[in-house]
Amino acid sequence: MIDMAGTPEEAKLTYIIRDHDHDAFENRKATMQQIADQLNKDLHKDRVDLEMFDQYYNMGDVIKDHQESVDLAEAVMTDLGIKPLVDPARGGTDGSKITFLGLPTPNLFAGGENMHGRFEYVSQQVMVQATDVLLGILEKAAQD
């Protein structure tokens, strides 16, 4: 749940549903629909209105067939003395949208820590490293 608002007359709950696995993602959405349907059945009236739309998908579904983009980033990071950490991303990045538009775009670090919380921060030193990685990717891609 990312938001909740209400009055004595009405309440609105906003959720973001994400998953690394496409089938599990679809199952989560189906579960939300089943819960809404069951509540309406139990209340003998349609009181729950569920609206869903897909905002983005897991870029891993595309990236797995275009590993060269990940290999390029890992090679540059290794050349710069940075140990690549490969963690699955559920989506929610610009790279996810760009990937599904036809340009495989792995999720690269930007240096942030404690993301999406009140203690989120980024150091200048790590931002410089992230910039060096991007410039290195451009140089290496231009050579190939």
Question: Percent of the chain at pLDDT above 90?
Answer: 63
Domain assignment present for 26: yes
Nearest to 111 by CA among 88, 132, 89, 138: 132
As a residue count, the chain comes to 144
Domain assignment present for 48: no
Domain total of the chain? 2
Task: Report CA 27 to chain centroid distance, whole Å.
Answer: 18
Q: Are residues 75 and 25 in the same domain?
A: no
Tell me the average pLDDT across 103-112: 85
Q: Are residues 72 and 119 in the same domain?
A: yes
**For residues 111 and 123, what is the distance between their CA atoms, to the nearest angstrom?**
7
Q: Are residues 74 and 129 in the same domain?
A: yes
Domain assignment present for 53: no
Instruction: Provide the pLDDT for residue 93.
Output: 73
The answer to pTM > 0.75 is no
- The per-residue pLDDT for range 35-79, each reduced to its tens digit, is 999 999 999 999 999 999 888 788 888 888 999 999 999 999 999
Q: Are residues 64 and 26 in the same domain?
A: no
State which residues form the domain around 81: 60-143
More confident residue, 53 or 31: 31
**For residues 105 and 139, what is the distance between their CA atoms, to the nearest angstrom?**
17
Q: Are residues 29 and 72 in the same domain?
A: no
